[in-house]
Amino acid sequence: MKAMIFCAGLGTRLKPYTDSVPKALVQLAGKPLLTHVIERLKTFGVDEVVVNVHHFANKVEAFIADRDSYGIKVSISDERDMLLDTGGGLKKAADLLNDGKPFIIHNVDIMSDINIAELYKKHQEGGALATLAVSNRMSSRYFLFDEAMQLVGWKNIKSNEQKISRVGDTYIPFAFNGIHVVSPQIFELMDGFDGKFSIVDLYLHLAKTESIKGYDVSKNRIIDVGKPASLIDAEKLLF
């Protein structure tokens, strides 16, 4: 099973830590965030990981090269020349990910106790193009779903901006948790999306004609460790 870990971001919310190291190598409970995510993915059967790099790319590459103990294949998707955002990063890594089977995407700054095996199974059973781990929690931005948990839109609570992919009577808001399972057919549906673009925009476009589903993990503990204070919270709650 393959997975991609999004690591290329600048980590501006984690300053001053990211002034000297990339976000992926910021320490939590004595280990870099990247190590936490890889070790957790391994417990669910992942045996090959793709890591994208941009900010302090050399440090991430050197760190991975020194970690034979991971015991799995770790490939680099190089975004040194241009930071491609989540959608562009996924497209660039297509050749490394596409083996004809669904793969996992995991943000490096998300710590959780989500059962990824259950999420993967739900994706396989549901026949969706992508299955997103979502929660009923406070956020400034929400994906909107219908009663069947089919993605129908997106809303920014602060700006009141709204994007609707499918008009309907039900728009149930759920916050996205940065963990998703994606079928490789997505690479055939990216026409018109090039360079730097968000996977959110890609999902909203594809939801017009394809099945993008949400999987409710509100019962789980999930912490976005993208800010210094949240690192402390994560260590208290998860370790």
- Side-chain half-sphere CA neighbours of 172 within 13 A: 14
Spatial distance between the Cα atoms of 190 and 210, rounded to a whole number of angstroms: 12
Structure tokens at 1: 């099973």
Number of residues written out for the chain: 239
First and final CA of the chain: distance in angstroms?
Answer: 26
Contact 70, 57 (CB under 8 A): no
| Interval 10-64: pLDDT, tens | 989 999 989 999 999 999 999 999 999 999 999 999 999 999 999 999 999 999 9
Q: How many CA atoms lie within 13 A of 41 on its CB side?
A: 32
- Residues 210-237 have pLDDT tens digits of 999 999 999 999 999 988 888 888 887 6
| Nearest 10 degrees: Cα torsion 152, 158, 160, 164 | -10
Tokens (6 digits) for 16: 């001053």
Give the residue carrying structure tokens 């280990």: 31
- Tell me the β-bridge partners of 143: 154, 174
CA–CA dist 16, 209 (Å, integer)? 43
Indicate the residue type of 180: H
What is the pLDDT at residue 238?
A: 67
pLDDT at 234: 85
The two three-digit tokens of residue 96, written as one number: 């490394």
Distance from C-alpha of 143 to C-alpha of 63, rounded to nearest angstrom: 35
User: What tokens appear for 117 in the block?
Assistant: 């095996």
Structural domains in the chain, CATH included, are 2-238 (3.90.550.10)
Q: What are phi and psi of 34, to 5 degrees?
A: -60, -40
What does the pLDDT average to over 164-171?
94
The C-alpha atoms of residue 193 and residue 54 are separated, in whole angstroms, by: 20
Q: Which amino acid is at 203?
A: Y
pLDDT in tens, 101-159: 999 999 999 999 999 999 999 999 999 999 999 999 999 999 999 999 999 999 999 99
Please give the pLDDT value at position 5: 98
Mean pLDDT over each residue of the chain, to the nearest integer: 95
Among 37, 45, 91, which Cα is nearest to 64's?
37
Q: Is 124 exposed, middle or buried (0-12, 13-18, 19+ CB in 10 A)?
A: middle
Q: What is the mean pLDDT of residues 87-109?
A: 98
- pLDDT at 239 exceeding the cut of 70: no
Beta bridge partners of 170: none
Using alpha carbons, select from 170, 184, 202, 191 the residue that is nearest to residue 128: 184
Q: What is the pLDDT of residue 236?
A: 77
What pLDDT digit, counting tens, does each position of 172-199 carry? 999 999 999 999 999 999 999 999 999 9
pTM, two decimals, is 0.95
